[in-house]
Every structure is written in C-alpha cells, then in structure tokens.
Structure 1
C-alpha cells in the first residue's frame, strides 16, 4: 500500500517521486510476497503493447500537464539501474519533452495516458515507452530521449508504416529533435549537433547513387539512413521555412487530424499539407521526394543595378533549400537577406535575387545553415 500511495501521488506531482529505491529493493517489500502475482495493464486506442519487468531497477515517477483545455495530465515514469546517473534525470527530461511537444510542435497534446523510460540497450521507441541506453553525456542522453519520445506521434499516433516509409517517422523525429533541442540548448548548439549528426555524413558525397526519398525503405540501396533521417527532416524544415511557422503548424494539424490512426502513406501527407496550407506544393514535394537531388547552390554572378544588386544563384544539387545572402558593405557593416525555398518555385535550376541597397557591396556569401552545401567554394562573391 505505501508504494501504491507513492504511485498515486506521482499522478499529480511535478516533482519526481522515488517510488522504489535501492533500499526498497534490498528490503524486498515492494511486491506482495504471494506464490503468484498477476499484473494487468489496460490501454485503449493504442497500436501495440510493450512492457518491461525488473526486480532490481529504481522506479521514479511524476506527471505533466499536456492539455490545458481539458486539464489533462499524463504519468511520466522511469525504470533504471541505480548507478546510471543519466536516468536519475529522465523523469524531468521526459516531462520537458511532453510539455514542449504538446504545446509547440507538433502542438498536439500527448495522446496517451503515460510514458515510461526504461534503461535498455537499443535507443528504441514503443507506444508509451522508450528504451534508452545509459549515456555519460547528459546533453546527449536528453537528446536521444527527446527523439524517441517524439516517435509517439510518428509513427504511433498516426499509424505510419515505418518499415516501408521510414522517412514518415524518423524524418519527423529528427525534425522535432532539432526544434526542441533549440529550446533546450540554444540555436547554435542544436544546429551544430544536427549538422554533425544528420547532414555532414552525406552532404559531401558521393552523390551519383542518391535515391529519391520516396523510394520504399526496403528498396533503398544507398544511404538508407540519410533517406530516413537527414534528408526528409530537411524537407520538413524547408517547408516550415517557406510556409512560416503558423501556416506550417496549421497544415500539419490538418494532416494529423485527417489521418491519425488511419495509416497514412506519403501522398496523404502531401495532399493534407496542400489542403491545410491552401498552397499548391506539388512542385516542392516533387523536388524533395521524387528526385535524386542533394544540396549544392552556386553564387554564379552578381550584377550592380540602379536599385542595388542582382544575384544569379544556380541550383547544382537540385533541392529547393532556403539560404541567407550575407552581405558585407564597403563601410564594414553587414546585412542578411533570407531567402525561403519559394525562390525555386518557378525555376528550380536558377534563382534571381534582388538586393535593394544604396550602399556599395564589398562581398556576398551564401549560407544555408543546417542546409549544408556540398561545395561551399562557389558560394562567395567579392567585388573587384
């Protein structure tokens, strides 16, 4: 009964409650000592069930408010070996994840009554549970847990087929990973990790064997991980950049409302985002999902005009990416002109950018940020 009281108290607690500690385990008084015990779990509207059993793990618990209108809280728990320092933080890490995902992006209240983080060996997601390895780096540990919990929405809430279209779940988890990471650690740290872990591995080639993201996962013979994680994530972030945060979120909600639990395929995503945004995105989705493209833009030439400067930017790699034109003036001042992927709508091979300024330009550098360029040497122009 005393452990039941702790568990029940955790359902309304923001603070971590230690339901079972090392001393409790040593005393062997957590479970009623009957010849046989039966545990019963009940869940509704769930795509699958997983459970974990241990007689030597700590058990921590708390809860978090995920739905402000309904005043709904969900249970947040962790089970782990006492010597794993990172897992002592996992209840609060998970509370932060569920709070952020519920209130920001995807901005859908966590749809299940509970989440549990169990120390294991796989870094793997399950409905209402994640199985994470012990990590000595707390920042990395939180990032991995964020990623796995993000899978609650894709694939589980949506019911997407991750074995056929891995980009429909891993791509989204990778996207949410950088977005929540920005909130947790700041833009530079989140961007640096994303570039190192999700983009650097493939952006510098070779690109001759690239396959379209739409290729069914079992049929991908080159860069399977890139097609599942980095490339689709960049497509989602590029669309967010082009539509703007509010319209992107509105369209995403149309997709999720239309298709949760109904096993959507990529075309359901494409059509829902078009309907939700009110935009014709056919060209964008074709560009990102149906071509063997990569990222490589070239600042081909710069012409001075009466109102400023005109930039001719070639798209050698093909992907419709956002980028900044970072301008340094002759007086030493600088200015950034951001370009969303819309600049590629009419001509995906050449974009003409007009920079309005009365100042003399000394140099211009194109910078894609996390949209790393395969060849940065042709991204700079210097005035004669």
Structure 2
C-alpha cells in the first residue's frame, strides 16, 4: 500500500501544480455512469493487485478519505480484498475494470470504478458496506441490469456479497447477519412479490423485497446446486450478458439451462409469489437409540433446513437439507439418526435462514 497524499502533504500544500488553473482529464471504456470526488483535506492511499493470472492484468484500488475518520484507515485493505475475492473466489471472474476508488462521502452509492461510502464505527459494518458497493461493479455496470425497474437484479447480489464475501475479507469476525427485516416484514400488507417493479415498492418491506429476499434466494440456490455448479452457471450468465441488458427471465433461464436443473418452481416461489418463511420442529421421538424428528413448513416459502443437535456431553451434530426438499409441494421433512449419547436440545436455523417465528425452532429434551 502506498500513501499518495498524506497529512504532511496536506499541511505543506504541495499537492497540485502551482498554476492558476489545473485541468483533469478522465477516460474510461465500457462504463454506464460517471462520478468524481473533490476535496482539499483528504488523504489518498493506493494499492494494486493482479486480477487476471492469464495476462497479469492489474487493478488499482484507492481509498480517499478524511484523516479524522480514523475508522476509514483499514478500508483500503477491505477494498483490495473485495476485488481479490471477486476475481478469484466469487463469482471468480477477473475484475473487469482497471481502477476502483473508495471515496469517503455522505452516502452509500456505487458508480463504475468508484463507490461513495460513509465511515462506520464497527469493523463488520465497514467490511459489509465495502463488499456490497464494490460488488455493484458486476451488477448493474458490467452486466447492464435495469436497476430502476428490477433493482433486485443488482441489489440482491450486492447484499449477498455482504455476508458471503465477509469471511473472505476478514475471517476473524463472526458473521452475524441481521435478518430482522425479512423476519418482521414478510407477509405484511406492504410485502409484495420480488418481481414487483421497484418504483412500486414502499414502506417497511421495500428493503426486504429488493435487497434481502433476493439475496437469500440466490444463496439458497447456491446450496441447492452446490458451489461448483452454481459458480459455473453464474459465470455463464455474467459472460453471456456483460455489456448487455438482461431481464429477470434471462437470468432464470440461463441458470436453469447451464445447471441442467429446472428451478422454475423455486423462481415462482421466491420471486413471483408473496411468500412467508416459517419452519418448525414439529416432532421429536427417541426410541431404541434412534432419534426421529420432523420439520414442518408452516409458511409458504421454500427455506433450507439446518438442524443442530446438541448432546449432553457438549458435542453436536448437524442435519441439513437444501430448499429442494419442498420442491414437490411437501410440507414436512423427516430426519433420523442413531446415537448412544443423551440428547440435550435441538435448534433449527442458521444466521442465513429466514423465519418469521423463532419460537417453534427449538426442542429441549425432557
């Protein structure tokens, strides 16, 4: 990391040429928008990394911020690691642009090769915001989705990037994603299907329907397909539609075709219907060292099943099923396992499982 403009440079005042007028020229290819920032009291840090191993192409990453915003100092590292994660982990495509600048501004807004991010006190929030806004490079800029009409086509992916890229940027911080919006807004009067045009979204369900619900839907598809097939399908979608303008139907069809899986039932459930996520542990039977349990889908949305079984000796066991278990209209999912250990309790759900009623997600041994 290099310091281009430091506090000392600001105090000395020797930053630009001492001319009556200086002119800056901006040039960029294949971009859909333009933004720039100006300050007479910001510091400037810069870094770069190889984003394409085949041709050794590099992307430059800059952070420009108020030196009094001390929480902004590590943002250059978060930004660099986000660009790295996009290039090599998710979605695993070479970062498409030559620059990415993080500017300390009053808002949280993305532009091609630049994001305007306000500072956050908590490290976790700063990481998630950085990942979210930089991921917008892919959607809606590299792939020209219509963010005015179908904002879930870019906001959903950027929101998924918040919690999916987080451990890639800093694995030391536990990911505790806030599911409050979807768990409290699902099913309310203002909740509408995700496919509803963005200008028609309003109230408490607006963020959920354009950001959080599509993010979780993409995440659940990843679990159903598996990482390898999911990334393959996503890359085909990105490479097929870069510089073009796909509709939601193009996305659905591309994932179906590339994966070889007919996910129409899932797209219908999560994008075209007003669904309510609510799973429950409805039955637990212990007999002859066999534990049989049933999870019921008392809601209307296909949510994955993640059970954690806790034993009295402190050990635990996981029982999982992707959202595909509800594909054919089933309302229950049965599990069974043998054990000689004494059960303590069973919990249902993870940090990424939407559920409007957590009260029925717990069973305690008598």
Whether these two folds match at TM > 0.5 is: yes
TM-score by length of structure 2 reads 0.90
- Could you list the runs of 4 or more consecutive aligned residues of structure 1 that deviate by over 6 angstroms after TM superposition? 304-307, 329-332
- Tell me how far 1:96 sits from its aligned partner: 1.1
Contact between 1:330 and 1:359, CA under 8 Å: does it hold in 2?
A: no
Query: Residue 147 of structure 2 aligns with which residue?
Result: 162
Query: Residue 326 of structure 1 aligns with which residue?
Result: 308
Which 5+ residue runs of structure 2 have no aligned equivalent?
A: none
What does the per-residue CA deviation read over 1:83-119, in whole Å, with 9 as the maximum and x for residues that have no partner? 2213332322211111111111111111000011111
- Tell me how far 1:173 sits from its aligned partner: 0.8
Q: Name the SS for the 1:189 alignment partner.
A: coil
State the Cα RMSD in Å.
2.5
Query: Residue 253 of structure 1 aligns with which residue?
Result: 235
Q: 1:64 aligns with which of 37, 40, 49?
A: 49
Q: 1:314 aligns with which of 280, 283, 296?
A: 296
- Tell me how far 1:306 sits from its aligned partner: 9.4
Q: 2:39 aligns with which of 44, 54, 62?
A: 54
Q: Name the SS for the 1:169 alignment partner.
A: helix
- Tell me how far 1:178 sits from its aligned partner: 0.5
Query: Residue 201 of structure 1 aligns with which residue?
Result: 181
What does the per-residue CA deviation read over 1:223-262, in whole Å, with 9 as the maximum and x for residues that have no partner? 1011112111110111111111111101111111111121
Q: Distance in 2 between matches of 1:367 and 1:86?
A: 36
What does the per-residue CA deviation read over 1:149-204, in whole Å, with 9 as the maximum and x for residues that have no partner? 111111111111112112111111111111111233448721x1x1x2xx113413
Q: 1:352 aligns with which of 312, 326, 333?
A: 333
Contact between 1:310 and 1:352, CA under 8 Å: does it hold in 2?
A: no
Are residue 106 (structure 1) and residue 87 (structure 2) matched? Answer: no
Number of aligned residue pairs: give it: 363
Contact between 1:308 and 1:354, CA under 8 Å: does it hold in 2?
A: no
Are residue 244 (structure 1) and residue 226 (structure 2) matched? Answer: yes
Query: Residue 272 of structure 2 aligns with which residue?
Result: 290
Q: Name the SS for the 1:183 alignment partner.
A: helix
Query: Residue 368 of structure 1 aligns with which residue?
Result: 349
Contact between 1:118 and 1:130, CA under 8 Å: does it hold in 2?
A: yes
Contact between 2:348 and 2:362, CA under 8 Å: does it hold in 1?
A: no
Are residue 23 (structure 1) and residue 8 (structure 2) matched? Answer: yes
What does the per-residue CA deviation read over 1:15-68, in whole Å, with 9 as the maximum and x for residues that have no partner? x21112233233333222223322111111111111112233222212111111
Q: Distance in 2 between matches of 1:174 and 1:352?
A: 29
Which 5+ residue runs of structure 1 have no aligned equivalent?
A: 1-15
Q: Name the SS for the 2:174 alignment partner.
A: helix
Change (3 A) 1:84 1:304: closer
Q: Distance in 1 between matches of 2:285 and 2:73?
A: 59
Q: Name the SS for the 2:308 alignment partner.
A: strand
